[in-house]
Amino acid sequence: MSQVPAATRTLRVLHFLASQSEPVPLDRIMRATGMPRSTAYHLLNAMIDEGFVVHLPEEHRYGLGVAAFEVGSGYARQAPLSRIARRPLARLVDRTGQSAHLAVLHGREVFYVLEERAKGRPPLVTDVGVRLPAQLTASGRAILARLPAAQVRALYPDRSAFVDRHGLGPTSLSALRTLLQETRQRGYAEEDGEVTPGFASVAAPVLDHNGHPVAGVAVTYPHESGGAQVDLPAVRAAVRDTASTLTRRLGGQPA
C-alpha cells in the first residue's frame, strides 16, 4: 500500500470495474481489492457522489459512471489516438471518395477529434472540436452499441436525456436499445438525416485491448448528391476495415 492508501484503493476499484463486462456486486469488489465491507461501501459512495461509479440498487451492483468515461475520453482525445488514426483515415477518404472523421464519447455526446475532408466535398457539422448527441450520430451509436447495457441505461435514465435535432432518432431507452442491438448485429452503425438533413453516415467502433469502445470511425456522404451514386456496401466495408486497423493498433480484437 502506498503512502496515500485512499487513492490507491480508489484506483484499484476503477481498474477492477473497467476490466468487467458488466456492473458487479459489492462482494466481488471487496475480494478484488482486498477491502473490508465497510471501507468498500463508503469508498464506493464517495465515488458515486463524484460520478465515477453508478449504483444499480435493483440489481445490487456497481459499475463505471459517466465521470470515468470522461477520463477515458480525455485520454482518447490526446495525441496518441489522433496520431495513429490520421493515415488510416486519409486512406479511407481515398478509398470512398467521401469525408471521414473520428469521434470519442464524452458523456452523452460524441466529440470529434479528427476529420479528413474529401476533395470537393462541402464542410460538415462534424468538424474537429464539435460535440453532438451520441444517440443521433453513427459514431455515437457505434460506440454505445459496444457498451454494457447497464452503462447505456446509466447514460440515458429517462426521456430528458434524449436530444432532438430534426425530429428523428430514438427518444426513449427502449427505442435506443433496439437500435443498438441492430447495430451490434450488423457490425456497423448508420444514420440518415438525423444530424444534418441531406447527409447520411456509416460508422464502426474502435476497440482497445479490453474490448472497450474508445472511438468511432465514420464516413459521411450526401444522400441527395445531384445524381452521383454512393456505393454503400463498399463504404460500409471500408469503414469497418479502417476501424479494425485502428483496433489492432491499440492491441484490441476487431469487432
The answer to whether residues 183 and 109 belong to one domain is: yes
Domain holding 23: CATH number? 1.10.10.10
Of 15, 48, 64, which one is at a domain's C-terminal end? 64
The answer to whether residues 33 and 55 belong to one domain is: yes
pLDDT in tens, 89-113: 999 999 999 999 999 998 888 988 8
Of 47, 64, 81, which one is at a domain's C-terminal end? 64
The pTM of this model reads 0.67
pLDDT at 226: 41
Angstrom CA distances, 43 to 17, 152, 156, 178, 202, stand at 14, 23, 25, 35, 41
pLDDT(70) > 80: no
The answer to whether residues 101 and 40 belong to one domain is: no
Strand boundaries in 7-81, DSSP class E: 53-56, 61-64
pLDDT in tens, 121-133: 655 555 566 788 9
pLDDT in tens, 10-37: 999 998 998 888 899 999 999 999 999 9
pLDDT(1) > 60: no
The secondary structure of residue 189, as a DSSP letter, is: E
The answer to whether residues 136 and 175 belong to one domain is: yes
Domain holding 90: CATH number? 3.30.450.40
The answer to whether residues 113 and 34 belong to one domain is: no
Work out the average pLDDT over 171-180: 92
